[in-house]
Structure 1
C-alpha cells in the first residue's frame, strides 16, 4: 500500500505542476486536461467561480488580457488518498505582472483539490483557492 500511495502522490504532484504550467503559459487545452469535464472551480478570492468551461472563458479573456506574466510555484502538497479519491491541500506563491501596474504583484495561499482517479490518471473534480496574502495587488484598498 505504501508503494501505491507514493506513486499516487507523485502523480498528484505532477498534476499540480501541469496546472501551474497551463495557467502560466495560458495553455487552456492543457488546463482542461487537469480537470474532470464536470469540475467546479472556485477562485472566489479572485472574483471567479464556475464550471470548467467558464473558467477557461475567464482565463482566456480577462486573465489573458490583463496579465503579462505569472509564475506559479506550488509546494507543500499534502494528499489524503482513499482508494480512487483524494483530498489535496497545496501552497501557492504566484508573482504576477499585471498590465498597468508598475510593480510586480505577488499572491500567496492554498489550493484545495478534490481529485478522482480516471482511466487517464488523477483529475481534479473541485478546486477551491484560498488567498492568504497579497503584495502590490491592484485590488488592495478596495472595499
Structure 2
C-alpha cells in the first residue's frame, strides 16, 4: 500500500480508519463490469465509489496516479490516499462488504494470502481471454494481464 500523490492524505495515514474507497474499473472489460455490477448490489460497510479508469474525471481527482497501470490491474484508493492494487485491492473490496468481511480477513492470513493471489491471477487470465483483440492494451478497454 502506498499513498497517491496529489490526493489529500492529511488524516494520519494507516492510523486513520478508511471511511470510503474508490474502485477504478474498466467499463469495456467484461470481468470488470461484472464485478462492478456485483459490488453495487452488495451491502457496504464502507461506501464504495466506482469510477471508470483513465477518464478526465479520474485523472483530475488522482493526478499523481499511474493511470496506465490502472488499465492493467484493479486499483482501489482509500479516502486518506491509500493505494491498493492487485490482490490487496480485491481483498479491500471484500473487506468493505458486510457479507464478505470475514472472508477478507481470512485472505490476509498467511494461509489465505496465496488463495487471494491465485484468484487475482485467474481473473487476469479470464480478462486476457475476454478482452477485445482489436482494443489497444494501452487504451481504455485494454484491461491487460499484469505479470506476477
Same fold (TM over 0.5): no
Q: Report the structure, 1 or 2, having the larger strand content.
A: 1
TM-score of Structure 1 vs Structure 2, range by shorter chain: under 0.3
Q: Report the structure, 1 or 2, having the larger helix content.
A: 2
If the length of structure 1 is used for normalisation, what is the TM-score? 0.22
If the length of structure 2 is used for normalisation, what is the TM-score? 0.21
